[in-house]
């Protein structure tokens, strides 16, 4: 585990790079997969055959799912109360 930590830290700290938590997590996983020789499977693995039927669907988008969703959405914000007195503890 410690050897993997060194590889990830070395690759990600060079050239003054800054990472978001999500980006750092993704990049560290890719670095570890690369050192383990499994990065090729990430891009060319068995998931590609599972994805084939979905490529045939051309007139379908996330907006279609959103429009047909039966969820009731209530985006009402609470009302602002004016002339209210608030007591603060000191």
Is 23 inside a domain boundary? Answer: yes
Is 76 inside a domain boundary? Answer: no
Is 65 inside a domain boundary? Answer: no
Is 72 inside a domain boundary? Answer: no
Is 13 inside a domain boundary? Answer: yes
Is 71 inside a domain boundary? Answer: no
Whole-number pLDDT of residue 76: 64
Query: What is the 3-state secondary structure of the chain?
Result: CHHHHHHHHHHHHHHHCCCCHHHHHHHHHHHHHHHCCCHHHHHHCCHHHHHHHHHCCCCCCHHHHHHCCCCCCCCCCCCCCCCCCCCCCC
Domain that holds residue 29: 2-58
Query: In a structure prediction context, what are the per-residue pLDDT tens digits for the chain, which is 90 residues long?
Result: 556 667 677 667 766 677 788 888 888 888 888 888 888 887 888 888 887 877 777 777 777 666 655 556 665 666 656 665 656 565
**How many domains does the chain contain in total?**
1
Is 45 inside a domain boundary? Answer: yes
Whole-number pLDDT of residue 70: 58
Is 80 inside a domain boundary? Answer: no
């Amino acid at each position: 585990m410690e050897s993997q930590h060194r590889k990830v830290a070395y690759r990600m700290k060079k050239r003054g790079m800054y990472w978001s938590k999500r980006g750092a997590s993704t990049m560290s996983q890719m670095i570890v997969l690369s050192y383990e020789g499994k990065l090729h499977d990430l891009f060319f693995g068995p998931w590609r055959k599972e994805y084939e039927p979905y490529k045939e669907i051309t007139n379908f988008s996330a907006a279609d799912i959103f429009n047909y969703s039966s969820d009731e959405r209530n985006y009402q914000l609470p009302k602002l109360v004016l002339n209210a007195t608030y007591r603060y503890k000191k």
